C-alpha cells in the first residue's frame, strides 16, 4: 500500500455536503486496498472569511503545500454575488490557491454514463459515444491580469494576458493526452479579434510540428460553444484559456447529463487539486439534495492522476456506474419520463456508492 496525505477543503454551500462523500470513498478505498491515507481538513472561501477575515488563511495554504493531494468542494456565497462592491470575496481564495500551488492545467473529462443518456436536454443520438477531455489553462488570462477601477468608480477593467510559456505548457499536456486517445486536438481561441488569442494560436501552431501524429483543429470560441451542443462527438481533446475553458466546460456538463456528475483535476508544479465542476449552489445548499457523485468522481481522479492507483480509480467509477444501474438517482439526474428510478438525497446516494464499493 501507499502512504498519502490528503487535505480536504469542503468550502462553501453544497461543498460541505458533498465533499464528505468524496472523503468517505477515499477512506473505503484505503481500507479495501490497504493504503495509508491520512486526512486533514482546511477552510477556504466564505466560511474562511467568516472565521478569519480572509478567504484563504495561511494555515490552509501551508497544509496544502504539505499534502500529496487536495479534495476541494465548492466556493461562493449569495451575499457576495448580490454585492459586487465587497472587497474581500470567497473566490479570491480559490484563485489564490490555484496560483500559489502552480495549478496551471485543469483537466475536465466529459463522459456520459450510459445510464444517464436520457437525463440530458440533448438528444441521446447526439450524445451517445461523446467523450471529451478538456484542458483549461488555470493560472493566467483575464482571471489574473491586472484589475483596475477608476477613482470615480465609472470605469473598470481586467487585463486579458498570456505569455508564450503559459500557452506552451498547457498545450503540451493536451498534445500528450491526445496521443493516448483518439489523436485529435481542438484548440479554442478568438484569434480573429484578440491579440492574446493570436499568440495562443501561434504557439499551438508551432507545436504541431512536434506532434505530427495528432490532428489539430483551431476553432473560435463562439463556434466551439455552438459545436459542443450541435455535435459533441466531433471533439476528443480540447485545449483553451482560463475564461473560455470556464464557459465551455460548464456548458459541456449538459453532455454528461448534469453538472452534478463532473469532476476535475488541477495539476501543475507538484500537488494535485481535485474538485467538482459545480459551484456552491446556494439555492439548494443545506437541503441535503445535492449530487455527491462529482465529489466521488473527483476522488477517483485523485487516485488515478496523483497517486497512480488506476485500479482503485476504476473501482470507484464502477461503483458509481453500478449505483446508477440500480436506478438510484439524485434529483438533478432523475428523469421524469423513466420509471424505476429511486430519487434520493446526498447521504443516501453516497451510502449506495460506498455499499457498491465493498
Ligand X SMILES: CC(C)[C@H](C(=O)O)[C@@H](O)C(=O)O
Strand partners, 173: none
Q: Taking the C-alpha atoms of 281, 283, 284 and 286 in order, what is their torsion angle to the nearest 10 degrees? A: 90
Q: Binding marks (x or -) toward a copy of itself, 289..328, rule CB under 8 A?
A: ----------------------------------------
Q: Does 108 bind a copy of itself (CB under 8 A)?
A: no
Q: Is 3 tagged catalytic? A: no
- 139 touches 118 (CB < 8 A): no
Cα separations in angstroms, 332 against 254, 259, 345:
11, 8, 10
d(CA 282, CA 286): 8
Place of cell 474562511: 48
Binding status of residue 135 toward a copy of itself by CB under 8 A: no
358 binds a copy of itself (CB under 8 A): no
Contact yes or no for 17/74 (Cβ under 8 A): no
Question: Closer CB to a copy of itself, residue 116 or residue 259?
Answer: 259
Judged by CB under 6 A, which of 32, 192, 270, 338 binds ligand X? 192
Is residue 222 near ligand X by the rule CB under 6 A? yes
Which residues are CB-neighbours of 269 under 8 A, at least 6 positions away?
A: 101, 102, 103, 104
CB of 242 to ligand X, least distance (A): 7
Number of amino acids touching a copy of itself (CB under 8 A): 66
Does 250 count as an annotated binding residue?
yes
Site string for ligand X, 92-111 (x = CB under 6 A): --x-----------------
Asked about 222 being catalytic, the answer comes back as yes
Mask 254-273, x = binds a copy of itself (CB under 8 A)? x----x--------------
- Residue 246 in the binding site for ligand X (CB under 6 A): yes
CA distances from 219 to 62, 180, 187, 255 (A): 40, 22, 6, 19
Q: How far is CA 284 from the centre of its chain?
A: 20
Residue 35: count other Cβ atoms within 10 Å of its Cβ. 18
Question: What DSSP line would sit under 54-101, residue for residue?
Answer: SSS-HHHHHHHHHSSEEEEEE---HHHHH-TT-SS-HHHHHHHHHHHT
The reply to whether 352 belongs to the active site is no
Q: Which is nearer to a copy of itself, 53 or 84 (CB)?
A: 84
Are 203 and 167 in contact by the 8 Å Cβ rule? The answer is: yes
Give the rounded distance of the alpha carbon of 302 from its chain centre: 12
Sole binder of a copy of itself in the list 122, 133, 305, 320 (CB under 8 A): 122
Active site residue 246: yes
Is 87 catalytic? The answer is no
Q: Is residue 189 marked as binding?
A: no
Distance CA 128, CA 167 (A): 32
78 in contact with ligand X (CB under 6 A): no
Active-site residue among 50, 62, 222, 231?
222
Between residues 162 and 211, which has the closer beta carbon with respect to a copy of itself?
Answer: 162
Half-sphere exposure of 8 (CA within 13 A, CB side): 22
Residue of 4, 24, 63, 190 with catalytic role? 190
| 198 among annotated binding-site residues | no
- Nearer to ligand X by C-beta: 86 or 193? 193
Contact 107, 78 (CB under 8 A): no
Residues near a copy of itself (CB under 8 A) are 76, 80-82, 84-85, 89, 91, 95, 121-123, 126, 142-143, 145, 147-149, 153-165, 190-199, 201-202, 205, 218, 221-223, 225-226, 228-231, 243, 246-251, 253-254, 259, 279
Tell me which residues are annotated as active site.
143, 190, 222, 246, 250
Binding residues for Mg(2+): 222, 246, 250
The annotation places the binding site for substrate at 98, 108, 136, 222
> For binding to ligand X (CB under 6 A), which residues are involved?
75-76, 91, 94, 192-193, 222, 246, 279
Amino acid at each position: 500500500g501507499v502512504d498519502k496525505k490528503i487535505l480536504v477543503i469542503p468550502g462553501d454551500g453544497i461543498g460541505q455536503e458533498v465533499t464528505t462523500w468524496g472523503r468517505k470513498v477515499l477512506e473505503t478505498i484505503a481500507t479495501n486496498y490497504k493504503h495509508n491515507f491520512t486526512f486533514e481538513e482546511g477552510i477556504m472561501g466564505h466560511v474562511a472569511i467568516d472565521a478569519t477575515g480572509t478567504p484563504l488563511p495561511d494555515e490552509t495554504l501551508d497544509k496544502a503545500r504539505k499534502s500529496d493531494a487536495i479534495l476541494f468542494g465548492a466556493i461562493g456565497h449569495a451575499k457576495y454575488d448580490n454585492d459586487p462592491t465587497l472587497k474581500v470575496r470567497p473566490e479570491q481564495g480559490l484563485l489564490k490557491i490555484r496560483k500559489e500551488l502552480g495549478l496551471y492545467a485543469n483537466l475536465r473529462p466529459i463522459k456520459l454514463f450510459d445510464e444517464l443518456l436520457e437525463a440530458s436536454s440533448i438528444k441521446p443520438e447526439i450524445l451517445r459515444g461523446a467523450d471529451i477531455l478538456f484542458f483549461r489553462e488555470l493560472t493566467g488570462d483575464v482571471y489574473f491580469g491586472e484589475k483596475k477601477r477608476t477613482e470615480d468608480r465609472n470605469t473598470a477593467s481586467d487585463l486579458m494576458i498570456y505569455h508564450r510559456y503559459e500557452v506552451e505548457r498547457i498545450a503540451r499536456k493536451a498534445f500528450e493526452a491526445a496521443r493516448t486517445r483518439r489523436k485529435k486536438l481542438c484548440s479554442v481561441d478568438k484569434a480573429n479579434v484578440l491579440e492574446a488569442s493570436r499568440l495562443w494560436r501561434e504557439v499551438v501552431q508551432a507545436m504541431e510540428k512536434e506532434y505530427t501524429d495528432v490532428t489539430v483543429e483551431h476553432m473560435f470560441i463562439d463556434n466551439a460553444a455552438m459545436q459542443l451542443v450541435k455535435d459533441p462527438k466531433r471533439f476528443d481533446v480540447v485545449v483553451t484559456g482560463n475564461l473560455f475553458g470556464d464557459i465551455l466546460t460548464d456548458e459541456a456538463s449538459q453532455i454528461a447529463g448534469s453538472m452534478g456528475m463532473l469532476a476535475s483535476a488541477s495539476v501543475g508544479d507538484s500537488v494535485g487539486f481535485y474538485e467538482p465542476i459545480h459551484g456552491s449552489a446556494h439555492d439548494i445548499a443545506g437541503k441535503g439534495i445535492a449530487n455527491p457523485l462529482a465529489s466521488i468522481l473527483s476522488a477517483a481522479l485523485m487516485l488515478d492522476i496523483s497517486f497512480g492507483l488506476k485500479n482503485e480509480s476504476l473501482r470507484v467509477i464502477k461503483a458509481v456506474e453500478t449505483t446508477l444501474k440500480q436506478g438510484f438517482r439524485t434529483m438533478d439526474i432523475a428523469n421524469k419520463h423513466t420509471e424505476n428510478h429511486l430519487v434520493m438525497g446526498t447521504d443516501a446516494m453516497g451510502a449506495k456508492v460506498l455499499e457498491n464499493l465493498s
